[in-house]
Structure 1
Amino acid sequence: MRLVDYIQEGYNIVTSECLGRAIRQSYPATFVFTGGDFEKIPRGKLLVDSFYSYLPQIRDAMELQKAYAVEQFTNDFVGAEARVKSMKLLEQSLKYLNNKQEPNLLEIKLKDTDSVPEVWYRGERVDELPNGLVDVYMHWHTCEADKPTKLMAILEYVEGTDIDAKRIEVYIDEEGERGSFNLLKDEIDD
């Protein structure tokens, strides 16, 4: 079997961050776990990149699955499409690191009046899975030449899709950033 076959059979995936991004772009409905989010792996079917199979959190997660598989994520296994996207993401990451630029605080792109805005907060896109945009508001106004600019931005989004999903609210103004979050299950319980 190849990666695409496991995805079509509904497997959740554990792999590297770079390859994980490429898989999320190609298959947005697939749950991909990278880095430190292993405790969020749901029960079901799990495909593990052999590089991560020795980790205690992964071994614990594998024991709870209905089915699991450990595979080496080689070029042949992953397939050319995901590998090309992975390489493009790696190139973008290296370009970013070489420029040593901080990500923009807030970026908002609106393609037309009927589209959902594309929103990045501190370099992380918050309007696509596994996140979901709830509300974005921005007001910027130039005052007189010798007075500071007026700024207010409010961003609300849901982080995650499972039982531990969080509602994040970020407030940005001249004084800086403030934020809060609460677990969605707490809102449902109330």
Structure 2
Amino acid sequence: MRLKTNTLAIALLSSVFMVGCQPTSPPTDGPQPDLHEDHDQADGHDGHAHPEHGPNGGELLELGAEEYHAELLHDDDAQTVTINLLDSAAKEAVTIPDQEVTLNVKADGSGSQFKLTSTGEGEANSTFTSEDAKLIELLEGEHADITLVVTIAGKQYRGQMHHDHAHGEEGHDHAH
């Protein structure tokens, strides 16, 4: 009887250890699917793919947790700075009722604030411009830290970027 009890105890312990050592999911043959294949891991934005430029070729500022984007265009020929408000995919225009947005620029150790005014009228504004010579001068400098302040759907957003103006580089497009 003692032999049966010992054999039964050993069998139970062996089954517990065998069950505890099993992998949590059964192995499959062939390559495993990439559960994140729609993400670009090399872009530095939490594994999500992002466009590098806006629909007009401008630099993008992220607003919120990618809820919206803003495209910054600096046109040397027209001497204008333009902000276009865009959706989360940075493709379609987003409108706000405000007639202006604020751009804070820090360059050469000092900060300045600029108001960009809507190019439209009424409550559906998505494009804002400035011809302020000082703003254009700061953006033409070597480096500038830019913060856009805008309210969309009742929530204030701050989009930040570091703007490098690479002088003397071939192929550098100033309409950014």
- Shared fold per TM-score greater than 0.5: no
The structure, 1 or 2, with the larger RCO (C-alpha pairs under 8 Å, 6+ apart) is 2
More helix by share: 1
Instruction: Decide which structure has the larger Cα Rg and report it.
Output: 2
TM-score by length of 2: 0.23
TM-score by length of 1: 0.22
